């Protein structure tokens, strides 16, 4: 199934090629049917199959809840294992008779019934245990199904269930640092790569970011780090992720562009938090933080140099990369150099806002050279958001409320129109070069 972004770009390219008399309309229609139309039908049938599985899963739970306790335990167990086994058998048969999505839907129903079985068997035999372990068992069953069948919907269910499991352990049971999730995640990530499934790659990235986010507080407590220290580490981590995307892009890795985009978006977020949290919450830098920063910086620098060696970065990219990395490393030291001099801290904060705008401009130029519209648009959003925040901090105490909001609204509209005009000019120029 083709990506919607790919299909939209292909439609624009086909229209452009017809207008330039590069191809005729019949050829364009044949190309569209081959790449787009058939994929949409396939996607529609798959969507209905998955929705049907969800309804069947709810029907099974409702029926069991209403009638389960009036029958003997032998019949209960036979019903539980029989329906689950039947779902897997139907799925296996459909997959081997070229009814692909019907088979995957039946497999997903089997995964759902496996979870129902775990809960009901625990009730039948009054099993009292740490209940997140039941969710873990369900997730492991889904992952095993995804590996053995193999089944992409089962893998998606495994990622979702694993996030629920780690969320319960971390948020409800106050796990110090829920590292067991990583063992599950690595196995699921390798499975997604083996299945060559793009949504699986995105699920793995989103689940990792989710796990890291909910464990941030536990990391801070474990090492006695402040939010500024963690934000600086995350900024270096995500810049390294972007550099890794550049490296593996030279190796023609399928998800290299997506990895760069995740790295860019997360780096912007960490930099924002660093700018606003560090001046108010940055104590003496911990020794553990220094060693961790040194390790992350070394890995990120090696990745950047590898991208430079693979010709994925030009000279301006390398200067921007090294400048951004150095700025992130130095910032915590500058803030803690004189934590009692508020004028000094304010000066450093404003200086780094300028650095953020410079880094945004570098990412924007990089996105233009790479023809990456996502990074271009994201950089425009980050630049506009920073300009707006600078305005709000500057004029909040200088203007009365009505003038503040009126002038702010006018400025925001003007900035948005200017940025949109510049974005269209740059992207249209990039498109003309590509067409030429």
DSSP state of 24: -
Q: What is the mean pLDDT of residues 285-307?
A: 93
Distances (CA, A) of 180 to 8, 137, 175: 40, 13, 11
Residue 379 burial (10 A CB sphere; 0-12, 13-18, 19+): buried
Nearest to 106 by CA among 194, 46, 196: 46
Phi-psi group of 338: left, alpha or beta (phi > 0 → left; psi -120 to 50 → alpha; rest → beta):
beta
Position 51 confidence tier, pLDDT thresholds 50, 70, 90: low
Nearest to 380 by CA among 331, 324, 425: 425
d(CA 256, CA 293): 25
Q: Which of 66-75, 114-123, 128-137, 374-383 has the lowest mean pLDDT?
A: 66-75
Question: pLDDT per residue over 360-416, tens digit each?
Answer: 989 998 988 888 889 999 998 898 888 878 777 766 555 555 555 566 567 667 766
Question: pLDDT per residue over 204-219, tens digit each?
Answer: 999 999 999 999 988 8
- With H, G, I as helix, E, B as strand and everything else as coil, classify residue 331: helix
d(CA 338, CA 315): 35
Q: Confirm if 252 and 307 have CB atoms less than 8 A apart.
A: no
d(CA 259, CA 269): 16
Q: What is the mean pLDDT of residues 123-127?
A: 68
| DSSP structure string for 36-71 | IIHHHHHHHHHHHHHHHHHHHHHHHHHHHHHHGGGS
d(CA 386, CA 390): 6
Q: Does residue 141 have a pLDDT over 60?
A: yes
What is the per-residue pLDDT for 40? 45
How high does pLDDT run on average in the chain? 81
What is the per-residue pLDDT for 404? 55
d(CA 93, CA 77): 24
Its pTM stands at 0.79
Q: What is the mean pLDDT of residues 418-433?
A: 60
Domain boundaries, the chain: 1-128, 132-223, 228-436
d(CA 93, CA 100): 10
Q: Does residue 201 have a pLDDT over 90?
A: yes
| DSSP structure string for 278-318 | TTTS--SPPHHHHHHHHHHHHHHHHHHHHHHHTT-S-HHHH
What is the per-residue pLDDT for 32? 73
Joined tokens for residue 389: 């925040």
What is the per-residue pLDDT for 70? 61
Position 56 confidence tier, pLDDT thresholds 50, 70, 90: low
Angle at 261 between CA 258 and CA 262, to 5 degrees: 90
d(CA 135, CA 115): 8
d(CA 374, CA 378): 6
* Sign of the dihedral through C-alpha 399, 401, 407, 409: positive
**Residues 6+ away with beta carbon under 8 Å from 429:** none
Q: Confirm if 145 and 92 have CB atoms less than 8 A apart.
A: no
Position 10 confidence tier, pLDDT thresholds 50, 70, 90: confident
d(CA 15, CA 208): 39
Position 125 confidence tier, pLDDT thresholds 50, 70, 90: low
The better pLDDT of the pair 166, 332 is held by 166
Q: Confirm if 153 and 141 have CB atoms less than 8 A apart.
A: no
Question: pLDDT per residue over 219-263, tens digit each?
Answer: 888 888 888 889 999 999 999 999 999 999 888 788 899 999 999
What is the per-residue pLDDT for 147? 94
Q: Does residue 353 have a pLDDT over 60?
A: yes
The better pLDDT of the pair 100, 265 is held by 265
């Amino acid at each position: 199934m083709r990506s919607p972004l790919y299909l939209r770009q292909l439609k624009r390219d086909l229209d452009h090629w017809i207008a330039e008399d590069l191809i005729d309309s019949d050829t364009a229609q044949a190309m569209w049917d081959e790449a787009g139309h058939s994929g949409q039908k396939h996607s529609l049938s798959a969507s209905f199959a998955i929705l049907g599985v969800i309804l069947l899963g709810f029907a099974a739970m409702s029926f069991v809840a209403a009638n389960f306790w009036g029958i003997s335990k032998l019949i209960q167990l036979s019903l539980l294992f029989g329906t689950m086994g039947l779902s897997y058998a139907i799925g296996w048969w459909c997959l081997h008779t070229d009814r692909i999505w019907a088979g995957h839907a039946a497999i997903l129903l089997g995964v759902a019934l496996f979870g129902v079985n775990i809960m009901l068997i625990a009730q039948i035999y009054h099993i009292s245990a740490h209940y997140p372990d039941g969710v873990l068992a369900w997730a492991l069953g889904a992952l095993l199904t995804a590996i053995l069948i193999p089944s992409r919907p089962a893998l998606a269910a495994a990622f979702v269930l694993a996030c629920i499991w780690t969320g319960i352990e971390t948020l409800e049971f106050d796990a110090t640092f829920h590292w067991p999730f990583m063992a599950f995640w690595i196995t699921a990530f390798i499975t997604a790569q083996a299945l060559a499934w793009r949504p699986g790659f995105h699920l793995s990235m989103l689940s990792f970011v989710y796990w890291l986010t909910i464990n941030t507080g536990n990391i801070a407590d474990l090492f006695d780090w402040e939010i500024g220290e963690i934000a600086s580490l995350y900024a270096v981590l995500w810049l390294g992720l972007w550099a890794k995307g550049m490296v593996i892009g030279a190796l023609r890795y399928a998800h290299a562009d997506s990895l760069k985009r995740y790295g860019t978006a997360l780096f912007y977020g960490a930099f924002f938090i660093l700018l606003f949290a560090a001046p108010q919450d940055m104590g003496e830098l911990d020794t553990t933080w220094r060693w961790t920063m040194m390790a992350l910086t070394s890995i990120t620098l090696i990745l950047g140099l590898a991208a430079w060696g693979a010709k994925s970065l030009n000279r301006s990219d390398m200067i921007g990369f090294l400048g951004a990395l150095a700025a992130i490393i130095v910032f915590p030291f500058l803030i803690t150099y004189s934590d009692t001099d508020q004028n000094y801290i304010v000066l450093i904060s404003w200086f780094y806002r300028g650095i953020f705008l410079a880094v945004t401009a570098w990412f924007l130029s990089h996105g233009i050279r790479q023809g990456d519209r996502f990074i271009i648009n994201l950089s425009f959003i980050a630049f506009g958001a920073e300009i707006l925040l600078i305005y709000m901090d500057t004029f909040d105490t200088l203007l009365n409320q009505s003038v503040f909001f009126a002038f702010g609204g006018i400025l925001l509209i003007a900035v948005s129109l200017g940025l949109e005009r510049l974005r269209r000019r740059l992207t249209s120029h990039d498109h003309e070069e590509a067409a030429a």
